[in-house]
Amino acid sequence: MRAPHPPSRTALAGTALAVLACAASAPGPALAQAGPAPAGGELVECRLPPQIRSLGRNVTYLAAGRQLQLSVAECKQRGGTWNGHGPGAHANAHAPLAVTVGAGPEGAACPLQATVSVPHGGSLAVRAGPGTGFERTDRLDNGARVFLCDRAGEAGWVGIVFGSGDCGLGAPINPPHAYAGACRSGWVRSNYLR
């Protein structure tokens, strides 16, 4: 007796498209968007959702989503956000977002540094995520030095690490992960850094 032939790739692709079409036509909550979304094939700076990662057998942590240049279609499929759009744009909009450190197997984990520069001698608010709706976790005075480690797309927010010394960022960190060192981290507006 012969085994039945497996379904062809064309049949599988047709089934997958039918499932996607059903999912797309299902009613869902309407999300307010800031202007028209880009076309599906256009490349955008896509912020992927946070991921749970493990460190050994007993420790897990929530790592900030990576920012990649992807097509709108792939960004949607992976649950990412871009320029205020996407399926993840309004989910957990004010949940804290960890600052991701590390860039690869060579060089410093966060090679760029900046100095806080607020007009009229003010201070810079450090927030738990990239936006004014996030909780303020700290304040930095003019002249404070920070490491620039992460960014939030076109929004003008950067993820920083600050404290004394090199904060453990002088050596390579690979793969990138959420900062969990002795220094502090958070998000600030990039226009107040020089």
Q: Which residues contact 135 (CB under 8 A, 6 or more apart)?
A: 94, 96, 127, 128
Per-residue pLDDT band for 13 (boundaries 50, 70, 90) equals very low
The string of pLDDT tens digits covering residues 113-126 is 999 999 887 899 99
Query: How distant, in Å, are the alpha carbons of 63, 169, 193 from that of 182?
Result: 17, 11, 22
Q: At residue 151, does pLDDT exceed 70? A: yes
Instruction: Report if pTM > 0.75.
Output: no
Please report which residue ranges of the chain form alpha helices under DSSP H: 9-25, 72-77
- The residue extents of the domains of the chain are 37-93, 100-192
The CATH fold assigned to 100-192 is: SH3 type barrels. (2.30.30)
Read off the tokens for 68.
């990649």
